[in-house]
Homo-oligomer: A and B are copies of this chain.
Amino acid sequence: MSESSRPQRGENLDTMPKRGKPTLRTIATIAGLAVTTVSRALSDAPQISLETRQRVHRIAREIGYLPDRAAQRLKTGRTNVIAILLDSHEEVVGFSTSIMYGIAKALKETSYHLVVAPNFLSTTNVEAAEYIIRNHLADGLIFTRTEPLDARVRLLLETGFPFICHGRTEFSTPHPYVDYDNFTFAYEATRRLIAKGRRKVTVILPPKRLTFCQHILHGFMTAVREAGIAYEIPEAVDLDTPADLLRDFISARAAALEAPDGFICPGEVSALAAISGMSDAGRTLATDYDIVAKETSRLLTQLQPKVDTIHEDLTAAGEDLGRMLLQRINNPDVADLHLLLPPQINFPIG
């Protein structure tokens, strides 16, 4: 104990009443330990005795110590930040919000933060990823709405930067992902409509460039072909179409000849638009037509009569994304990190 008590609170806090933020040194001085020991104790290193560890933790809590993330980052090279990418013009609608909520839950007890990286000034969705990597703004990346040949996936695989996405690309390049089994969703949804006696089915598809559009189409077509039933696939609208336009489209379609009497709606907004549109055309749910919808919140449970739903738990998906990305960051050579989440079917299947 030579000169451990330097005049730390001298005349140098006249600039701001910043109350000399506590550091490891503060704790060390109070506890009569070395900074090293305090650091180790706080990070629960094995070689520290239980007693010191507890004492250090207690002091830290009492004086409200928070580690300086800049110093940690400088030393370790890790930012303790996970970023989620937003497409150039994607808006954070309920979809991403639920996923973010799940990610935030997965990060809750860790030292990691979630930041949302908007991508407003660049034209391609890969530029935001490049920017993050170049400036080392995060330790890992999450993004959604993958395409079969996704430029982001390619870039990240090339640079070896940790990432995981919600959705898959084509199968030739394996990469970490969490995806929902949209094939089964569409297959079971279609079979349900058929089982209910519907004779012409249709599906509101996602935008064609997205991978999961293929999955839904595949599941739909498989069930349609097995049953040899009539179907139609709207070209003018998709899941990203604004709700009123969708409503008007469906209303117009219902008034025409050979209108469909069974709808697959892989999203709540499209389901509500379909109900409104059919209602505009004088059709009654359950009597004149049926819907099977994908539900991600509890929006549809209010409806009377009830529509058949298949649940997709986006919050759970977000938790998996967060958990698996951390796994990937801390152990770069875990092989083949992926997960396919099963649909949760809310009606009897036979």
Which residues on A are within 8 Å of B, measured CB to CB?
66, 68-71, 73-74, 79, 91-94, 97, 100-101, 104-105, 108, 113-118, 120-121, 134-137, 243-244, 247-248, 272-273, 276, 280
A99 vs B114: C-alpha distance when bound (angstroms) = 21
Select A243's contact among B74, B108, B243, beta carbons within 8 Å: B243
A117 vs B100: C-alpha distance when bound (angstroms) = 11
A115 contact set on B, CB distance < 8 A: 115-117
A104 vs B248: C-alpha distance when bound (angstroms) = 36
Interface contact B134-A66, CB-CB below 8 Å? yes
Q: Least Cβ distance of A296 to chain B in Å? A: 13
Name the residue of chain B whose CB is nearest to the CB of A114. Answer: B118
A276 contact set on B, CB distance < 8 A: 244, 247-248
Select A91's contact among B66, B92, B248, beta carbons within 8 Å: B92
Select A272's contact among B101, B244, B273, beta carbons within 8 Å: B244
Question: Sorted from nearest, which 10 A-B pairs have the closest CB atoms?
Answer: A116-B116, A92-B92, A70-B73, A70-B74, A115-B115, A101-B120, A104-B120, A70-B70, A71-B74, A104-B121
A74 vs B70: C-alpha distance when bound (angstroms) = 5
A-B contact pairs, 14 of them (CB 8 A): A66-B135, A68-B74, A70-B70, A91-B92, A92-B92, A93-B93, A97-B120, A104-B118, A104-B120, A105-B120, A114-B118, A116-B118, A248-B276, A280-B280
A118 contact set on B, CB distance < 8 A: 100, 104, 114, 116
A127 vs B272: C-alpha distance when bound (angstroms) = 34
A70, A73, A108, A117: residue with the most chain B Cβ atoms closer than 10 Å: A70
Interface contact A100-B74, CB-CB below 8 Å? no
Name the residue of chain B whose CB is nearest to the CB of A273. Answer: B244
A116 vs B90: C-alpha distance when bound (angstroms) = 14
A111 vs B69: C-alpha distance when bound (angstroms) = 19
A273 vs B104: C-alpha distance when bound (angstroms) = 34
A101 vs B89: C-alpha distance when bound (angstroms) = 10
A244 vs B69: C-alpha distance when bound (angstroms) = 46
A137 contact set on B, CB distance < 8 A: 69, 113
Q: Least Cβ distance of A44 to chain B in Å? A: 20
Q: Least Cβ distance of A218 to chain B in Å? A: 30
